[in-house]
Structure 1
Amino acid sequence: MVTAEPSPDLPIKARKGIITAECMFALNSVKDLMVGIRDAFGGRSKTIQKELRRMRETVITELKQEALAVGANAVISVSLEYSQMTGKGDPFLFIAAVGTAVEISDNKGV
């Protein structure tokens, strides 16, 4: 997986198309309370950082699965988008991963 268009010498045999993976996680009341206290006094929220890391790992795993499902063995131009939403007063963290699924050959020029 790469986050930018690869160098011209990367042996891309075929572009399989754009793939995506999305995850939404609810924050529970205890986490929200601790984040609120942390925000009031300043500092970083390890709880939210841990949750964001878990979310990122989840969408990257799912993006890899999407790539395999379309016959790709690599993903280029990967982008991650984060946002926060509320539904019925409960906060949610949302992350989406987008990339281009490609098939690359093991040997250059093959």
Structure 2
Amino acid sequence: MWMRRDYWESLCHRWAIGPCQERSKAAKRNREAHLEKNVHTSWSASYATHGQKLRHKLERAPTFRKLFDQTHKRKGIDDYVSESARTIAETYDKMMADHYVEGTPQPDLDPEA
């Protein structure tokens, strides 16, 4: 048992009332209203799990862009799951090109980009 029973019961009570329920209902409405934002290819696997699998496959740490494509493109079609995902990828690529001169090493992830 990783948590004391009284702590768990306190959390369950807190989640079952007031602001937590309101946020939950609002999030559900948003997911239903914006279906294109909720289409990912990751299913139940976490982003970290995808990163580990890709690291094993590539035999090195994947770049942000590789991992993003892995989790935001439809399998076998090589097309993004949404226009939002396409825009993020294109914007990141443009910002990386603007920040780094061609031929110079780029980091796997530039948080500024």
Q: TM-score by structure 2 length?
A: 0.23
Instruction: Kindly indicate which of the two structures has a greater share of residues assigned to helix.
Output: 2
Query: Looking at both structures, which has the greater relative contact order when contacts are Cα pairs under 8 Å and sequence separation is at least 6?
Result: 1
Q: Which protein is bigger by CA-based radius of gyration?
A: 2
Instruction: Kindly indicate which of the two structures has a greater share of residues assigned to strand.
Output: 1
